[in-house]
Amino acid sequence: MSTADIDPRTPVVVGAGQFAERIEDPGYLRLSAVDVAANAVRAALADTGADADADAIAAAIDTVAGIRQFEISTPGAPAPLGRSDNFPRSVANRVGASPARAILEVAGGQGPQHLLTELSATIAAGGAEIALAFGSEAISTAGHLAKAQDKPDFTEHVEGSLEDRGYGLKGLTSREQVAHGLTDAPSQYALFENARRARLKQTREEYATAMGELFAPFTEVAAANPYASAPVERSAAELVTPTEANRPIADPYTRYIVAREKVNQGAAVLVMSVAAARRLGVPEEKWVFLHGHADLRERDLMDRQDLSRSPATVLAAEHALEVAGIGVDQVSTFDLYSCFPIPVSTVCEGLGIDPADPRGLTLTGGLPFFGGAGNNYSMHAIAETVQRMRATPGAFGFVGANGGTMSKYSVGIYSTTPTEWRADRSAQLQAEIDSWPAPGQAPRADGWATIETYTVKHSRDGERTGVVIGRLEADDRRFLAMTRKGDEDILDRLGSGEPIGTRVYVRSFGFGNRVTTTESRMNELFPPRPAEFRDSYEHVLVRRDGHLLEVTINRPDVRNSLHPQANEELDEIFDAYFADPDLWVAILTGAGDKAFSAGNDLVYSAAGKPMWVPKNGFAGLTSRRELPKPVIAAVNGFAMGGGCEIALACHLVVADETARFALSEVKVGLIAGAGGLIRLPRTVPAKVATEMILTGRRITAAEAHSYGLVNRVTEAGKAVEGARALAAEILDGSPTSVRLSLQVMRETQGIADTVDAVTHPSSAVDELMVSEDAIEGMTAFAQKRRPVWRNR
């Protein structure tokens, strides 16, 4: 096809620019991320070679799209020198552009290619004419100047619309990953790497050699690249041999083969319709067409069948080549996203590319050597590809852009050969990927298991922490676990030989799953806790009065809110209560007159301290499967958030007239995840529950009583007295009958049909028939005396 016959709406890349500065270089400018990007944009505008000048081209841009810096990629990320509140328009303003539309893309290294594909499709459909995509990082400058006396202020407030697409982090992390220290990219990729090594049946030494040989040519490219952050050529052995400078990061990675994020780099690409290119006088020898493209997403980490592969990545690469109508042998240049070795190995293995292919696998030098440039690395890859395609007309260049943990993969196939826009089938392929079966999961894992993959994280001070993904022997469910600090037995297992496929022992706790070599070793590390009371507790008061136990949360200075230590004490206390045959009823209350409990200690959490609750939930109650003996909540003052959830978990509630109940989590950006979302709609009218949950509305003790949430209301300050009176009434009956009644109620709770529930067979009835209390009760009745209960 000649350019004369092409549809004037066909998108074409006409300009690509890069910019970089290094702190150690002469003339270092201390530029912000905005100014780094603006310099790259100016280079892209100049690169068009258009008859129109740069100002005229900038004025004609109708759409700008920015890639997020790391400091705006996650909630609460620091920006030590300040940042713009509208990055795309800040950059546009620098170059004289006033676009109608400004986009801030989601986080992820797939972003640059995804945006180029999307913007091209929009142009082809007539929804835009000239679009500019760009991104940058100034992490190196931010780190260098953060504590300087004359540090610059990069804060900017920019007016104008912004299509902020959010962080895009859904599915990329989970509560389980956070609990098990699996939040950093090296550790996550290392899990894949070790799984692949085991599949290939290679030793640690063989695999390390292969990683070094894969990346050594990348260093050669980086050494010749004027925009590279680390232009140093290194040998394969040097890359993977641990030294003081090349310290271990996460097995099997050393520092030299992981992405380098401390950079000051920017890149920009200008795409427009053929009609606009002609109008602005862009020479046809500058035109580069997007022949093939694909965007696919892998299953979430724990849902992947094979942790040694990324089939969605390979499928995206294959489909982009299919759309382009070429085979991999027709590609002249590659730039494969290379934050770690395995994203490169995955594509090579899937497409049958020899890692030593003379065509090379990078045009920039790769993320560890050229520089990560945050989410924007592949914009540099596209810019390099555009220049190579112009230099070799008719050739094809492949750009593979990876995001997350081999989670999102975007591919572009570029060439100067004219072609009209071609649609892809990514949506159809994504539906297929989403239908793939996933392994069963065990968020709480207990028992013998086998290691599926692993890594050992190395801190700067030499401390080691193991992370394991395994399968339970009992049911083959997959779990995530970590080692306990100082457990050299399991660390030695993970640090030598072949751990994958070996037998280990895992146990779940409120703070997560822990793995070690054997059950006996687990008992050494975590001695089983006896179900008995201590002499004293730091955060809780305990009082025994005959068969009655009174438990008081003793943190009035923080409205009896709970942190991990308080929750752990309450869990231990209720274990002891349920195990003690001489205790028949328990009362739970809060110290002082201000609050029963404000739930989670948000001040403790906001201080960055690790928050977790026991397996049995808040106060050791909200997630406990069975409360075999009565627990009465004596609510004095506020029962907010988790405090309300604790009250809901109790069998009975006595509140004084000052009490207020609320699930206030929405007010602080949380949800009532400790049972409130389930128990409240089953306790009060549905509409009332929904209003309380969605608005955080507080209800009074009288309202709570009218809805059935509270059993009794007392005068102010009399909640505990009221609870004692209610407890006395329970204690007047048979503790055996009380306990077995609770059992039958619990067993039949989920049976909808009344007759089915009534006729439900229960061991409680058989136990009651042979109990001493049943005999004593009937005998005492016949003898007209008070029974003497035995609770057996």
Catalytic residue IDs: 645, 665
Gap between the Cα atoms of 253 and 187, Å rounded: 9
Q: Distances in Å between the alpha carbon of 223 and those of 126, 365, 369? A: 42, 8, 8
* Cβ atoms of residues 714 and 654 within 8 Å: yes
Give the number of C-alpha atoms closer than 13 A to the C-alpha of residue 740, restricted to the C-beta side. Answer: 19
Gap between the Cα atoms of 135 and 36, Å rounded: 9
The SS3 of residue 440 is coil
Q: Burial code of 698-714, b = ≥16 C-beta within 10 A, e = fewer? A: bbbbebbbebebbbbbb
Which is nearest to 414 in space by CA: 454, 381, 443?
Answer: 381
Torsional sign, CA 41, 43, 49, 52: positive
A 10 A CB-CB count for 388 gives 17
End-to-end CA distance of the chain: 92
DSSP tally for the chain: helices H, then strands E? 27, 27
Which is nearest to 545 in space by CA: 790, 720, 710, 716?
Answer: 720
A 10 A CB-CB count for 524 gives 12
Residue 707 token pair: 């809805």
Gap between the Cα atoms of 619 and 644, Å rounded: 11
Q: Distances in Å between the alpha carbon of 206 and those of 58, 210, 240, 501, 503? A: 52, 6, 11, 19, 24
Ramachandran region of residue 563, left (φ > 0), alpha (ψ -120 to 50) or beta?
Answer: beta
Residue written as tokens 């539309």?
101
* Cβ atoms of residues 30 and 145 within 8 Å: yes
Residue 87 identity (one-letter amino acid): F
Give the number of C-alpha atoms closer than 13 A to the C-alpha of residue 745, restricted to the C-beta side. Answer: 12
The string of DSSP codes covering 747-786 is HTTT--SHHHHHT---HHHHHHHT-HHHHHHHHHHHTTS-
Length of the chain: 792
Gap between the Cα atoms of 490 and 495, Å rounded: 8
Gap between the Cα atoms of 511 and 613, Å rounded: 7
